[in-house]
Structure 1
Amino acid sequence: MKGMPTVIFESGLGDDNGVWKLVQKEISKTTITFSYDRAQLRNSATGDLSRTSLEQVHELHTLLNKAKVKAPYIIVAHSIGGYNARLFAGTYPKELAGIIFIDCSHENQFKDRVNRSSAEEIEMVRKQLIGEEQTFDKLLMSAKQVKEIRKKDALRNIPIIVLTADHKGEESAAISEETWLSYQNDLLTLSDYSKHIMVKDCGHYIQKDKPQIVIDAINEIVDKML
């Protein structure tokens, strides 16, 4: 897929588009960029219900069409935003040209957490997510959606770059380092054109702590399209 791409920034759970400020400023100098706030976040109309990742993907696609933002798209996804990127790939495969996964969530991590946690611990997590854009139950549903979409193998011939922080933040605080790395390595198997970069001295928000690494990764995929 050739042509000037649009770089879409997909934030993590509860984050608005401000987390991309440093990266988007630089990438906007060379190609089209698109950042937004999902429903229930800062600059978007308040939604009535928590949404699954697939519902969010459909809303994003509608927004892109209304704004006349054209494909091909490169999605830069952080944390749970990785679910949305993969679901977008499976739902609109002809429109996607690449994905940058930034310390992204894996479809097994929430089920694994349920299996190793007590009922009291799970209930505490459920309460923490009440009122969020995705409740704990919706996160579990979203993970199932990602597992199902994986069967389409939509990313097999799409370039992807997986960025993994060596110091974990909230997203993986309840997950062992070994398990988190296994999740990250599994993301590499989604494509025959994948690359893994371990980011040293960095927390979960690589786009804030080490923005140049994210910028370089985006430019690497953009350059392949020009």
Structure 2
Amino acid sequence: MAALAILLAAGGALWNWAATQYYREHYPAPGKMYTVNGHSMHLYCTGSGSPTLILDSGLGDDWTVWQKVQPTLSKTTRVCSYDRSGLGWSDELSPEHDANTLADQLHALLQAADIRKPIILMGHSMAGVYDRAYIAHYPGDVAGMIFVDASSPDQFKRFPPQILENLQSYYSTRLKWLTVFGIARATGKCEQIVPGLEFERGFIYANNCKISVVDTNFAEFNDIDHSSDETRHTGPFSNLPILVMTEDPQIFANTDSDSIPPEIGKKSSILWESMQEDLKHLSSNGRRIIAKGSGHYVEVDRADLINREVPVFIQQVRSGQVPADNGTTKVE
């Protein structure tokens, strides 16, 4: 039995490695690779115009999550999605994955790619924290910020402890070994394709069960406290144009989870709402839109809303005018 178990484990590991190699060879990443700190980073730019919009993905995600919005937004200005250190097609640049390190790496990437400043940063989830580090380090580089259901540096101090415990359970070594031995791929966890991203299927297959990508997920998660400490005191950002786009609080509060009791979900939803309002108030020139019917991935669930509102925001940045609905929170 022991010999059979070893044989199955070895076969699963070999199959996962071979599948990963197959998809990475047959689905080379679009865009270009740039050398940053002696390593290769992936940047995918489309469209033309200024300021350039930089799309920064959430924890563990890569450029593919933006592909329901990048094509449309590229009709308004130049838009670039990229892979952070160790994710997607980017090499791991260093063992550190804290906000300050990632901000410096993004800055170096934009320099290597000769991206003209200033830029607009658009960050989903944990990237909202990383982007705050960027503007703290390079304030002259940024003409506007868009937070897409973005994290707060204080969220795990404010959330009930069950939320962090649930995430810690997910980001456990168990997930890595399920990936190593091919169990995750065999059970379809590498192939969860978001509706509307069917074109990116091969790219997603190539990376979702790549061992080094899973390791990077753990590394980013383990550096959350460090990233939060680095960015907790960033802001306010004077009159910098800010747009906050948030998931529907009813979706958050009613998320079906065996590990999160309903009362904890409702309490967390209220706290998340408060933190999203805090993001809006990081500037005297900020507004917020709640995406009706959307979960955490607003760029997927309500791509139509982002494709409509972000071009309006870009025009606001270009004109320098404060919008008539400045300071408001609306549901759309």
TM over 0.5: yes
Amino acid at match of 1:138: D
> Identity over the aligned pairs, expressed in percent?
32
Larger Rg: 2
> Residues 123, 162 of structure 1: CA spacing in aligned structure 2 closer, same or farther, 3 A cutoff?
closer
Q: Is the 8 A contact 1:100 1:160 kept in 2?
A: yes
Structure 1 unaligned segments of length 5 or more: list them.
none
Matched, 1:165 2:247: yes
1:50-199 counterparts in 2 under 5 A? Answer: 50-113=96-159, 116-117=161-162, 124=169, 127=172, 131-133=215-217, 134-150=219-235, 153=236, 155-166=237-248, 167-168=251-252, 176-199=268-291
Q: Is the 8 A contact 1:11 1:79 kept in 2?
A: yes
The RMSD of aligned alpha carbons is 2.6
CA distance in 2, matches of 1:219, 1:87: 25
Amino acid at match of 2:69: V
Q: How far apart are residue 100 of structure 1 and its match? A: 1.1
Query: Normalising by structure 2, what TM-score?
Result: 0.60
Question: RCO higher in 1 or 2 (8 Å CA, sep ≥ 6)?
Answer: 1
Q: Is the 8 A contact 1:111 1:140 kept in 2?
A: no
CA distance in 1, matches of 2:165, 2:245: 33
CA distance in 1, matches of 2:170, 2:269: 21
Query: Normalising by structure 1, what TM-score?
Result: 0.86
Aligned with residue 294 of structure 2, among 202, 207, 215: 202
Structure 2 unaligned segments of length 5 or more: list them.
1-48, 177-214, 320-332
After TM superposition, what 4+ stretches of structure 1 lie above 6 angstroms from structure 2?
118-122
> Residues 181, 62 of structure 1: CA spacing in aligned structure 2 closer, same or farther, 3 A cutoff?
same
Q: How far apart are residue 164 of structure 1 and its match? A: 1.0
Q: Is the 8 A contact 1:75 1:85 kept in 2?
A: yes
Structure 1 residues 48-67: Cα deviation after superposition (integer angstroms, max 9, x where no partner): 52410110110000000000
Indicate the larger mover: 104-113 or 131-140.
Answer: 131-140
> Residues 77, 122 of structure 1: CA spacing in aligned structure 2 closer, same or farther, 3 A cutoff?
closer
Amino acid at match of 1:165: E
Q: How far apart are residue 47 of structure 1 and its match? A: 4.4
Secondary structure, counterpart of 1:34 in structure 2: strand
CA distance in 2, matches of 1:38, 1:122: 21
